[in-house]
Structure 1
Amino acid sequence: MKKVVCLVASAMIAVSLASAGQLTGKVQAASVPQTIQVASTGTGDDSAVLAAAIAKAQPGDTIYLTSSAYQFKSPILLNKDGAAGNTIKLKSATTDKVKLDFSAEKDGDSSYGINIKNAYWELENIEVYSAGDNGIIMKGTASNHNTITNCVVDNNNDAGLQITGGAHDNTVQGSESFDNYDIGTKGSNADGFACKLQAGAGNKFINCNSHDNSDDGWDLLGTDETVTLINCTATKNGYYHGDPNSTLNNAGMNGDGIKLGGNQKPPKGTHRSLGSHDVEGCKSYDNKAAGFSQNNSAANLYLKDCDADRNGADNVLNANQKTTKSNFNFPFNPNNGNVFTFENCTTTGKCTIYSGAKVIGGNVYATAPNNPLPPVSAKSKGKK
């Protein structure tokens, strides 16, 4: 029988735990998993009551959010480990999504919504709204084996969800990211999903949807490990809230649907992305720039059963963008024995793929000049 701890505005009921058994590694698990219930305080800031629940939780426990909405003035910090087979769960108490509203949080580079610093957490049926930076972030090697299921990240002041800096083996599934726009750089950083800047190995996105974000749908800039995208969709990215006629649009908003590479600027110079990404069953439509984009990747890339239309030069939403990018935009040979493979991929529009690429089935075509990646100049350092 599960133990239940209720955390409400008026009181916290302490529950004595049975003696903790040792698990693999350095974490302890309660011998009987707890169900910890958290209701909104109604005070305009639920940070303390949720922090108390997180501090109490042990591997195997579930924190249930019992109210329909909560308000926060500071990030939610998940800074302890669950364990394999004994994750710590943070989820809605019902099948409806719970809204975590960070509108009162100050904008800033570390003003996240949910900051998952550690391992073996599961988030489910949660909406993260209007954070001062990323809605959800997993950063650093300690952030691993986390699972995000059926969640929404929207109207945040940077990428909706970001995995970066060595975070590895994280899975995002059945989730949606939209209407993210960063004020400080006028929309040029707010991707829907970002797995970039030295993200670790084993990160996956499955059945996710990224739309109406001011920068890219997915951005894998500067990632040297494989990222897997399965049955994901990117639409109408590169515009403020998906509006091609908004006065808040600007040239710095890239607008690739699924960006598979790029340059980064690590401590010792410029470096091209080397992540050999696996992209299967994905779709990309109506994005400002490319549908699927090489973006200077020098890796092996594999795309299977992917479809793209009305992107870039074929974008019918706004003829004034004047972009030359294609639905499949892979103009350069990555060299060093690497090759891009397209299996059963389709488009009805413009396609730019270097002629040395491997094309199997489908109707995409590799007829662009078989040129190598151009040299990296000082002007191209940083985000491209």
Structure 2
Amino acid sequence: MKNGTLITLLCIAFAGCQKNNGVTPGIADEKLASSAATLVTAAATSVTVTTETALKAAIKAAQPGDIITVSGTIKLTSTLQLLNSGTSSAKINFTGGTLDCSGISSGWGVKCNGSYWNITNMNIKNAPDCGLVFQYGGYNYVYNVTTSGNHDSGLQIYNQSHHNNVSYCKSNDNYDTQNGGENADGFACKLSAGAGNKFDHCTANHNSDDGWDLYGQPSTVTITNCTATNNGYGGNGDGNGFKLGSSGQNVPHTVTNCTSSYNMASGYDGNGNTGHITITGSTGTGNGKTLFYRLY
């Protein structure tokens, strides 16, 4: 809550007490003053963290409207879990710095099960599995986040997570050594993610599997103004710029004004999805197989 609003509330409480002209405040006045004090206590906070301990404490205590800023590089030793939720009018803001996940023995780097988070201006790297995962919840906004060097997909949305907006993000050099590069996509929205997920002005470069992977995704995904290049360098990676579904599906994904170039396989591959995939204003060059493949 903004300071101006709190000051106004406190002034109202104070004015209520003054009306009694020195007489002991009434019950209504006491309740109003108590409410104002509660609002002060619950006011949004802003904290800057430089250690894993401080970061995890701030994340665990996060309330709607809070701002948590990472300064410098923090090396994680276990998955950072974003479990709380903000609100539509007061999101939880998580921003800045670098999260080096190389100290995690197994698992994801950052897991978001909450809703209404703003995750911005951050680097997430070297996780033993995916870098940043949205598993449940929704209405999260990701802006200017780079996921790199992770041992599975850089950023993944799945398992019912819905209405996430990923904008101006980069995902590069992700490689799953345990599978010879078979699974590490730049961006993955797959395996039963919910509705309303969007990618805009994002770049996937030099990932061992696909730039974007929508395998097993039952709800429409919207991809606009995105670029996929040089994907598929892993020995077992498929290497499509945009993999737009899988066999047995009929899901109408939308791809607009995108570029897909120099990927090991196809630029845009329906991968057996018989849904009416709408590709508009999108192009590319130099892909190993073809530009458009298995699109209906």
TM-score, reference length from structure 2: 0.85
Q: 2:121 aligns with which of 110, 125, 133?
A: 125
- The question of whether the paired residues in 2 share the 8 Å contact of 1:225 and 1:274 is answered with no
Q: 1:206 aligns with which of 185, 188, 200?
A: 200
Q: CA deviation at 1:49?
A: 1.4
2:174 paired residue number: 180
- The question of whether the paired residues in 1 share the 8 Å contact of 2:266 and 2:290 is answered with yes
Count of aligned pairs between the two proteins: 264
2:93 paired residue number: 89
Q: 2:242 aligns with which of 258, 271, 277?
A: 258
- The question of whether the paired residues in 2 share the 8 Å contact of 1:165 and 1:198 is answered with yes
Q: 1:69 aligns with which of 58, 69, 73?
A: 73
**Structure 1 segment 296-335 matched on structure 2, within 5 A:** 296-312=272-288, 325-330=289-294
Q: 1:18 to 1:194 in 2, by over 3 A?
A: farther
CA distance in 2, matches of 1:172, 1:18: 38
1:49 paired residue number: 54
In structure 2, the gaps of 5 or more residues are 4-35
Q: 1:292 to 1:18 in 2, by over 3 A?
A: farther
Aligned residue for 1:308, secondary structure, equals: coil
Aligned residue for 1:229, secondary structure, equals: strand
Q: 1:31 to 1:49 in 2, by over 3 A?
A: closer
Identical residues among aligned pairs (%): 38
More helix by share: 2
Q: Kindly provide the CA deviation profile for residues 32-77 of structure 1, in whole angstroms up to 9, marking residues without a partner as x.
A: 3211221x24xxxx1x211111122210111122x22111111110
Q: CA deviation at 1:18?
A: 4.9
- The question of whether the paired residues in 2 share the 8 Å contact of 1:35 and 1:61 is answered with yes
CA distance in 1, matches of 2:39, 2:80: 26
Q: Kindly provide the CA deviation profile for residues 214-246 of structure 1, in whole angstroms up to 9, marking residues without a partner as x.
A: 00000000111110001000000000xxxxxxx
Q: CA deviation at 1:273?
A: 2.5
CA distance in 1, matches of 2:230, 2:37: 52
2:102 paired residue number: 103
- The question of whether the paired residues in 1 share the 8 Å contact of 2:60 and 2:82 is answered with no
Q: CA deviation at 1:274?
A: 2.5
Determine whether 1:157 maps to 2:176: no
* Deviating 4+ runs (over 6 angstroms): none
CA distance in 2, matches of 1:20, 1:235: 50
Amino acid at match of 1:286: Y
Q: 1:283 aligns with which of 251, 259, 279?
A: 259
Q: Kindly provide the CA deviation profile for residues 245-273 of structure 1, in whole angstroms up to 9, marking residues without a partner as x.
A: xxxx42x210000010114xxxxxxxx22
Q: CA deviation at 1:20?
A: 5.0
- The question of whether the paired residues in 2 share the 8 Å contact of 1:176 and 1:208 is answered with yes
Amino acid at match of 1:135: G
Q: CA deviation at 1:330?
A: 2.1
